[in-house]
């Protein structure tokens, strides 16, 4: 019987997968957007590209996530601040297992499970969650994604979460 050999493959000249709270700096750097620090889940960057890792609230795609939302209320879920150096289109979407927990609200308008808006440079928008009067929702967790895009730029922050309280 022959022996099996395995060999670890190199990533070549290339990419490194960076852990939590990082944006695809390659895309951002390539299009020349100023980027002091980033917050997202993962990104692949070539050697020589540098970026600082920071918490969601302090990042270029700043997310100020609420500590909790409450039943029978419309509470802030996340405030999104654009520090990306250009106007962006932002989409906030509930994850499929959280769509029964409430509806997203921006500027008093109910948008259901997903809302998209334009956010100018340095602008901030508050996205709220309207949770129904249902005590069975207490103890659940709302999961959501926040994505921002512009020409040549895509930033994603997935699986952010907020507990539902009474």
Residue 83 lies in domain: 16-165
Q: How far apart are CA 94 and CA 80, in angstroms?
A: 15
- Which tens digits make up the pLDDT trace of 5-55? 444 443 443 333 333 333 333 334 444 444 444 444 444 445 555 555 545
Number of independent structural domains in the chain: 1
In a domain, 100, yes or no: yes
Q: Percentage of the chain surpassing pLDDT 70? A: 63
Q: What is the CA radius of gyration of the chain?
A: 19
pTM of the model: 0.69
Specify the CATH number for the domain of residue 83.
Answer: 2.60.40.1930
């Amino acid at each position: 019987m022959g022996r099996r050999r395995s060999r670890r493959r190199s990533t070549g000249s290339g990419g490194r997968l960076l852990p939590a709270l990082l944006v695809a700096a390659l895309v951002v750097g390539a299009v020349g957007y100023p980027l002091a620090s980033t917050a997202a889940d993962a990104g692949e960057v070539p050697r020589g590209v540098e970026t600082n890792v920071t918490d969601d609230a302090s990042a270029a795609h700043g997310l100020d996530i609420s500590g909790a939302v409450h039943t029978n209320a419309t509470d802030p879920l996340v405030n999104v601040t654009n520090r990306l150096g250009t106007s962006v289109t932002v989409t906030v979407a509930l994850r499929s297992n959280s769509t029964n927990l409430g509806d997203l609200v921006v500027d008093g308008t109910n948008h259901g499970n997903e809302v998209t808006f334009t956010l100018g440079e340095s602008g901030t928008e508050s996205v709220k969650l309207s949770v129904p009067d249902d005590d069975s929702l207490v103890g659940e967790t709302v999961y959501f994604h926040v994505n921002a895009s512009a020409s040549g730029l895509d930033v994603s922050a997935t699986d952010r979460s907020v507990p539902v309280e009474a």
